[in-house]
């Protein structure tokens, strides 16, 4: 009888496409908006991702997220180094700096100052140059996207394409000359500001002088030391906050979720997608069942049990759900692939696909429940009513 | 026209369909259907409609009984009860030894699937299935494999003269052909009782005549009983008996369908 159910479904093409489109729309909106939301949230902790060679980030206890810098005294680095179980502890400067471009305009940039000796925390990949070149005088590494866009030099011809920044070019950072020695591949950040890497010592000379300049201490646990215990020990000993990479990411995301309207905006979009999908699919599927009620009645009269009819309706619902969900996710993935090299944030982890599939399953169950009720309560005597 | 008392259901008498086919009624055999004092009321209170007011009826195995009467007299209600698709209020309705009232819903559903075949006024063929698939439905419900069901449906299609249309959709068939398909569907699982609701009302005279002839030949030749609800006097000649209903009761049972047909001017 399941083949009969499928033939009933596929045979009514207009309704079949209508139902599938409803599910497709819902799963596409849920997946696409969800992926953009996750993409944006992933970017909020882009610096943590790129600078994750250590196990623990040590910071001022008042820091709320990665962009919220509350500098510490340089001596905190030595206190951390003195704690038992610390393999290494390195300073990291993170701040904002103003770059003066060739056309006279200014561009705010994120500047990261890496430990002068080890250069730990550099860009995860290099498009041009090498990380070690940061040891040269006035050296900086600029992220690839900004080198091609915000920090690019203006075209000598009016209306021409900007000329990407390349190794050997210079920038003026807060009235200091800086030489581009490399183009790095960094994760885009939430603010999408250019990311400039340099050494810790040089970064503190570029930025205005302040009493406290140390933004973070990156800590690696010694071999065999439990990271969580070390984290707690650092907090107890120094009174500073110490978070693992994942904890710092979570804290950052948590901050953006609680303090910005982003989740509400995307939540509304996802909710609307779910609602519209449910209404369209539910209405079309119910209508499809009503149209076929006479045939369900005929089957019931001819001896089909309620369980058989129930299975038929559920199968029909699951099939349109699976096809619609696949199409929706496919369209969202295509959209994501097309947007891969654009500023659009788009991250589609498997958990999001699972959420979309669950949402579609709920839509299908709700739609099927309406229809099942109608089919089960159907009196087989209806077949004699002409 | 010879009439018998409607309250004597066993008075089957010698039944012949005027040479159209040989009835296969077995004298003394257990009745296919025995209804006694069957009542059915729709609604309640002042809006109650008394559809059946104590109907007694018997149908023998191999008999073709027609139920006739004005609209609203209870014909469809009666075959719905006999076919097990509608509950009755009082009385007993026993079909092939099984009392319908004592069955649970699930038992009655299973009973219908095995024992009853249906032919509907508007055919009720599923438009998205092919002819062969439509005919195969009762077998699929009974749990047969699709391949076996389709093979058997193609066999029976040959018997109703549509062997070459097995892969057509119902919409591509004429009304008469669709009714033949519906008949094939009602027969494929060898039910012992076939109920037909106005099987010829959507057909022209010749087609209706052919359909009834087919039903007599195919169904009755294998000892199946038929109950046909009809307004169509032109097919009375195929009946072994004709039960005339009015106001929820069987007023009379005529044992000569041809005679009644003649009284309606349907037989020259």
Phi and psi at residue B97, to the nearest 5°: 80, -5
Residue ranges of domains in chain B? 3-263
CB contact under 8 Å between A379 and B85, yes or no, is yes
Query: Which residues between 127 and 166 in chain B have a beta carbon less than 8 angstroms from any beta carbon of chain A?
Result: 127-129, 133, 137-138, 140-142, 146
Which chain B positions have a beta carbon within 8 Å of A305's beta carbon?
Answer: 106, 109-110
Q: Are A276 and A26 in contact (CB under 8 A)?
A: yes
CB contact under 8 Å between A305 and B83, yes or no, is no
Which chain B positions have a beta carbon within 8 Å of A308's beta carbon?
Answer: 141
Which chain A positions have a beta carbon within 8 Å of B116's beta carbon?
Answer: 303
In angstroms, the separation between the Cα of residue B90 and the nearest Cα of chain A is 18
CB contact under 8 Å between A1 and B133, yes or no, is no
Q: Which residues is B119 bridged to in the sheet?
A: B196
Query: Which residues between 67 and 86 in chain B have a beta carbon less than 8 angstroms from any beta carbon of chain A?
Result: 76, 79-80, 83, 85-86
Structural tokens at position B96: 């092939």
- CATH annotation of B3-263: 3.40.50.300
Which chain B positions have a beta carbon within 8 Å of A312's beta carbon?
Answer: none
The tens digit of pLDDT for each residue in A206-245 reads: 888 878 889 999 999 999 999 999 999 999 999 999 999 9
Query: At which residue do the structure tokens 């030099």 appear?
Result: A153
The tens digit of pLDDT for each residue in A282-306 reads: 787 888 888 888 888 888 888 888 8
Size of interface A-B (CB pairs under 8 A): 80
Residue B11 to residue A371: CA distance in whole angstroms: 47
What lies within 8 Å, CB to CB, of A115 at 6+ separation is A90, A91, A92, A121, A199, A200, A218
Residue A101 to residue A78: CA distance in whole angstroms: 38
pLDDT at B4: 42
- Residues A349-362 as b/e (b if ≥16 CB within 10 A, e otherwise) read eeebbeebbebbee
Residue ranges of domains in chain A? 2-43+261-384, 73-239
Q: Which residue of A has its CA nearest to B201?
A: A386
Chain A contact for B172 (CB, 8 A cutoff): no
Q: Which residue of A has its CA nearest to B191?
A: A302
Instruction: Quickly list DSSP for B174-229.
Output: -HHHHHHHHHHHHHTT--SEEEEESTTTTS-HHHHHHHHHHHIIIIITTT-EEEEE
From first to last of its 386 residues, chain A has per-residue pLDDT tens of: 788 888 888 888 888 888 888 888 888 888 888 888 888 888 888 888 888 788 999 999 999 988 888 999 989 999 999 999 999 999 999 998 999 887 788 889 989 999 998 998 889 888 989 999 999 999 999 998 888 888 888 887 877 888 888 899 888 888 888 999 999 988 877 777 899 999 999 998 888 887 888 999 999 999 999 999 999 999 999 999 999 999 999 999 999 888 888 778 877 887 887 788 778 777 878 888 888 888 888 888 888 888 888 888 888 888 888 898 899 889 988 888 887 777 777 888 888 888 888 888 888 888 788 788 878 887 777 777 65
- Smallest Cα–Cα separation from A213: which of A94, A333, A374? A94
Write the residue in B106, B122, B138 that is nearest to A302 by C-beta: B138
Residue A79 to residue A238: CA distance in whole angstroms: 7
Write the residue in A7, A302, A386 that is nearest to B112 by C-beta: A302
CB contact under 8 Å between B133 and A7, yes or no, is yes
| Interface predicted TM-score of the whole assembly (ipTM), two decimals | 0.79
């Amino acid at each position: 009888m399941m083949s009969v159910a499928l033939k009933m479904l596929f045979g009514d093409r207009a309704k079949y496409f209508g139902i599938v489109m409803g599910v497709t729309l819902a799963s596409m909106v849920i997946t696409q908006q969800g992926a953009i939301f996750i993409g944006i949230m992933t970017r909020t902790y882009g610096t943590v991702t790129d600078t994750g060679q250590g196990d623990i980030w040590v910071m001022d206890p008042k820091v709320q997220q990665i962009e919220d810098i509350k500098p510490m005294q340089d001596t905190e680095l030595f206190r951390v180094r003195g704690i038992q179980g610390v393999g290494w502890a390195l300073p990291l400067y993170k701040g904002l700096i103003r770059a003066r471009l060739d056309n006279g305009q200014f561009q705010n940039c994120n500047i990261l100052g890496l430990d002068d000796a080890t250069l730990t925390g550099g860009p995860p990949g290099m498009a041009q140059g090498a990380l070690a070149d940061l040891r040269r005088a006035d050296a900086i590494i600029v992220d690839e996207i900004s080198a091609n866009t915000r920090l690019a030099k203006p075209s000598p011809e009016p209306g021409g394409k900007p000329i990407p920044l390349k190794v050997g070019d210079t920038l003026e950072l807060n009235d200091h000359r800086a030489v581009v020695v490399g183009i790095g591949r960094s994760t885009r950040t939430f603010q999408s500001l250019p990311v400039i890497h340099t050494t810790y010592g040089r970064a503190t000379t570029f930025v205005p002088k302040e009493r406290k300049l140390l933004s973070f201490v990156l800590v690696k646990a010694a071999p065999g030391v439990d990271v969580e215990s070390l984290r707690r020990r650092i907090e107890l000993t120094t009174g500073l906050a110490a978070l693992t990479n994942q904890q710092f990411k979570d804290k950052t995301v948590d901050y953006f979720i609680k303090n910005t309207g982003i989740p509400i905006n995307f939540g509304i979009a996802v909710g609307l997608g779910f609602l519209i999908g449910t209404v369209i699919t539910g209405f079309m599927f119910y209508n499809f069942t009503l149209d076929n009620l006479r045939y369900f009645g005929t089957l019931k009269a001819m001896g089909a049990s309620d369980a058989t009819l129930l299975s038929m309706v559920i199968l029909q619902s699951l099939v349109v759900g699976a096809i619609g969900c696949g199409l929706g996710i496919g369209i969202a993935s295509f959209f994501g692939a097309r947007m891969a090299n654009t500023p659009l944030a788009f991250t589609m982890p498997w958990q999001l696909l699972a959420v979309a599939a669950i949402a579609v399953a709920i839509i299908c169950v709700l739609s099927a429940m309406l229809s099942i009720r109608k089919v089960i309560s159907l009196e087989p005597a209806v077949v004699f009513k002409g | 026209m010879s009439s018998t008392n409607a309250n004597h259901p066993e008075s089957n008498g010698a039944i012949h369909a005027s040479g159209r086919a040989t009835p296969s009624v077995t004298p003394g055999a257990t009745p296919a259907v025995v209804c006694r004092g069957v009542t059915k009321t729709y609604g309640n209170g002042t809006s109650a409609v008394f559809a059946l007011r104590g109907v007694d009826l018997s149908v023998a195995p191999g008999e073709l009984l027609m139920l006739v009467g004005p609209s609203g007299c209870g014909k469809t209600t009666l075959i719905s009860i006999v076919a097990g698709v509608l509950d009755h209020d009082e009385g007993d309705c026993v079909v092939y030894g099984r009392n319908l009232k004592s069955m649970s819903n699930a038992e009655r559903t299973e009973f219908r699937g095995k024992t009853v075949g249906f032919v509907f006024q508007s055919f009720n063929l599923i438009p998205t299935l092919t002819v062969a698939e439509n005919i195969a439905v009762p077998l699929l419900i009974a749990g047969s494999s699709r391949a076996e069901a389709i093979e058997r449906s193609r066999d029976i299609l040959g018997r109703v003269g549509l062997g070459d249309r097995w892969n057509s959709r119902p919409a591509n068939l004429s009304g008469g052909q669709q009714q033949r398909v519906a008949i094939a569907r009602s027969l494929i699982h060898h039910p012992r009782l076939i109920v037909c609701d106005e099987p010829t009302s959507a057909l022209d005279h010749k087609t209706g005549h052919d359909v009834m002839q087919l039903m007599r030949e195919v169904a009755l030749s294998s000892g199946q009983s038929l109950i046909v609800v009809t307004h169509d006097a032109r097919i009375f000649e195929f009946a072994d008996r004709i039960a005339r209903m009015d106001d929820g009761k069987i007023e009379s049972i005529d044992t000569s369908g041809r005679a009644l047909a003649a009284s309606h001017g349907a037989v020259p």
